[in-house]
Structures are given as structure tokens and as C-alpha cells.
Amino acid sequence: MIKNIPDFLYEKLLRQYGEELTNKIIKGYSKNRPVTLRVNTLKGNIQNIKTKLINLGYNVKEVEWYLNALIIENIDENKIRQLDIYKNGEIYLQSLSSMIPAILLQPKQEENILDMTAAPGGKTTQLASLTNNKAFITACEKNKVRCERLKYNIEKQGAKRITVLLQDSRSLNEFFSFDKILLDSPCSGSGTLSTLDEKLEKTFTEELINRSVKTQLELLKKAIQILKPEHEMIFSTCSILKEENEENLIKAQKSGKIDIVPIEFNKETFKDIPLLPVKINGTVCICPNELYEGFFIAKIRKN
């Protein structure tokens, strides 16, 4: 182990980012992030939730780039789960980084939207919230247990017009056609590692990365196939490794069917989000730190 992460990962990060950024990433791995949550506008509103939390004695901070996100500094997730506002679905525990893909997809009412890897439902219900339950959402999950969890969260959040499919989205019929697709792909999780995890050397392996790369490319190809021409999708992972992100996009681009749409990730809109350098202009890679998990996001248009 090098600096509490597997040796091979340290070498990968060093080759991709250099020593200074690698040390910054490892420092980010070591941080204990505060609780972050999304207010579910289908059931509650931001001011009422803030007031309730403040009255309970919690330190509440707003997030400048997202009105309905909150940071709670002096509480853990277990205590949040005991609150009525959690039990009745007014709030959803979600990392800040993972809220960004659904926002960048810019879902609209009456659109047909596919969430390709939907469980446990954070982004699915966020899409429903962003469209005020007026989009038509298809949510895929191949694992039966996770699919039941997805259904539970959809119902708890009061999300409507959602069709849940117990199916691997890679096997979706090619006659499906969607206005927008959210592909938050399975990945190695290299952006969300914790140096406090004693099992990290056994659980985070090169085999995991290689398997993730293969799955992501297969999902990307299917997404491009069933996305309507001239329409857009979001591809995201909680990895910061180029082979899972930019290199898979480059492979997908060889089909000649897609263009990368530059994401306007300016400092005014997404203030204080730490970014890592990327190989493809217009894509975004978030550096793990005390508030954010490592995350990669790209917007794709089918031509």
C-alpha cells in the first residue's frame, strides 16, 4: 500500500495527474464529508426543511449552484434517517457530486427519459422532481433486490410517471427511443474511495477497473443506439480514471454517431467545485475533497 491506497492505483494517478494532483486526490480520499441532502420538491420545500433542521439545532448550509441541496455539518446519516422529514420522503440523502448529472441533463416536462442504471433511485427521483412529475421516465435495474429498493424510493418520494424495468439496460430492444438518457454508469468508484477503508486493497482491483470499462462501453453503445437523433444524454461515473471516462468516450466517438457537447461548468454557476484536468474539452472531472466525491460527467449529442 502506498499512502493508504493500492500501489497500482497510486501509479495510475501519478501517470495521469502528476505528483501534486495525486497527493491532492489522496488527501481528498481521507476526508470525512458532512451529510448532504436533496430536498424533494414533490413533497416539501427548501425553506420549511431548513427551518425544521435549524430548529432541531443543526448547522445548515446552502449550496450556491443548487437551490434544493443542503449541507448539514453536525449530524450523521443515521440521525437523519430517524427524522420525520426523511421517513416521509421530503428529503433524500445524496452526495453533491451525484446531484450534478441530472441537472446537466436539463430534463423537460413531457419528455421520454431513460435512467439506464437507476437503483437505488436518487437520480431517478431527482429527474421526477426537476420535471414536477411531468416527464415520462423509464428506470432500469438488473438486480432484483436493488430493483425493489428503487421501487420503494420512488414511492416514498412521491415520484410519478416512472416505469421500472427489472432488466439489464444493455438488452433493451433497439426499437425503444428516448428524448434524453441518463447513464450514470457502474464503475470502479475510484473517485469515492476512503483511505480509512482497511479492505481497500482487496476490494479495489485492476480486475474491477477492467470489468467496469467493458460494461461502460457496452452501456454507451446501447444508449447511443436508442437515443433519438439530435437529442442529448449524460454519461457519468464516480471514477476519476481516464480509461473509464475519456478513453471510453473516444472509443464511442469512433462510431461517428455522436458529438461531445461542451458543458458550461463555469465558476459562477458551479462555485467552489474542485476540478481535475481532462483529455476531452467540455467534459468535467471533479476532484475529491472535503465536500465532493470524485466524479466524471460528459454530455453527448447523437448526430
HEC assignment per residue over the chain: CECCECHHHHHHHHHHHHHHHHHHHHHHHCCCCCEEEEECCCCCCHHHHHHHHHHCCCCEEEECCEEEEEEECCCCHHHHHCCHHHHCCCEEECCHHHHHHHHHHCCCCCCEEEECCCCCCHHHHHHHHHCCCCCEEEEEECCHHHHHHHHHHHHHCCCCCEEEEECCHHHCCCCCCEEEEEEECCCCCCCCCCCCCCCHHHHCCHHHHHHHHHHHHHHHHHHHHHEEEEEEEEEEECCCCCCCCHHHHHHHHCCCCEEEECCCCCCCCCCCCCECCCCCCCCEEECCCCCCCCEEEEEEEEC
**53 lies in the same domain as 182:** no
Q: Does residue 143 share a domain with residue 48?
A: no
Domain CATH number, residue 69: 3.30.70.1170
CATH of the domain at 234: 3.40.50.150
pLDDT reported for residue 273: 93
Q: Are residues 75 and 201 in the same domain?
A: no
* Residue-level pLDDT at 131: 98
Identify whether 1 is part of a domain.
no
What confidence score (pLDDT) does residue 271 get? Answer: 75
CA distance 125 to 184: 14
pLDDT computed for residue 198 by the predictor:
80
Does 11 map to a domain?
yes
Do 79 and 108 fall within a single domain?
no
- Do both 84 and 117 map to the same domain? no
**What pLDDT score was predicted for residue 189?**
97
Q: What is the pLDDT of residue 269?
A: 72
From the number of C-beta atoms within 10 Å of its C-beta (0-12, 13-18, 19+), residue 170 rates as middle
CA–CA separation, 273 and 286 (whole Å): 7
pLDDT for the residue numbered 3: 67
Point out the residues that are catalytic: 238
**275 & 181 share domain:** yes
List, for the chain, all residue ranges whose pLDDT scores fall below the cut of 50. none
With left for phi above 0 and alpha for psi between -120 and 50, is residue 170 left, alpha or beta? alpha
Which of 93, 109, 127 is at the close of a domain?
Answer: 93
Structurally, the chain folds into a number of domains equal to 2
Q: Which domain holds residue 55?
A: 35-93
Structure confidence at residue 4 (pLDDT): 82
Cβ–Cβ under 8 Å, residues 150 and 181: no
Both 184 and 211 in one domain: the answer is yes
